[in-house]
Structure 1
Amino acid sequence: MGVMRGKYSFVLGLLLLIALDISDGCSPHGARRRKRSTPTAPEVASKLSEFFGSCSNLIRSSRGAFDSLQSVVDYVIRDSNWYNNIKSTVCTDSRDNPSCWIYALNFLIDDESDLYKATAQCICKWSGDCFDGSSSNPVKREVRNDGYGSYGSKSRLPRCIETKSRKYVSQYPSLRKVDGQSIITFLEDHYTFCRYTPEFPYEQRNLFQLLYSERLCPRSGSWRDSFPDLFTKATRQDGPIWAAYQQCLDKCTPNPCQNGGKCKTTDADPGYKCFCRNGYGGKLCEKRDCVDKSPYMCQNLYGPQDCRYGFVSLYCKRTCRTC
Structure 2
Amino acid sequence: MTTLNQTGVSHTVFHMLGIPGLENQHMWISIPFFISYVTALLGNSLLIFVIVSRRSLHEPMYLFLCMLAVADIILSTCTVPQALAIFWFNDREISLNRCISQLIFIYSTFISESGILLVMAFDRYIAICYPLRYTTILTHSLIGKVGVSVFLRGYGTMSPIIFLLKRLTFCRNNIIPHTFCEHIMLAKYACNDIRVNIWYGFFVLMSTVVLDVMLIFVSYMLILHAVFRIPSQDARHKALNTCGSHVCIIILFYGPGIFTTLTQRFGRHIPPHTHILLANVCILVPPMMNPIIYGIKTKQIQEQVVQLLSPKQITLA
* TM-score (normalised: structure 1): 0.25
Larger RCO, structure (CA 8 Å, separation 6 or more): 2
- If you compute each CA radius of gyration, which structure gives the higher value, 1 or 2? 1
Q: Which has the higher helix share?
A: 2
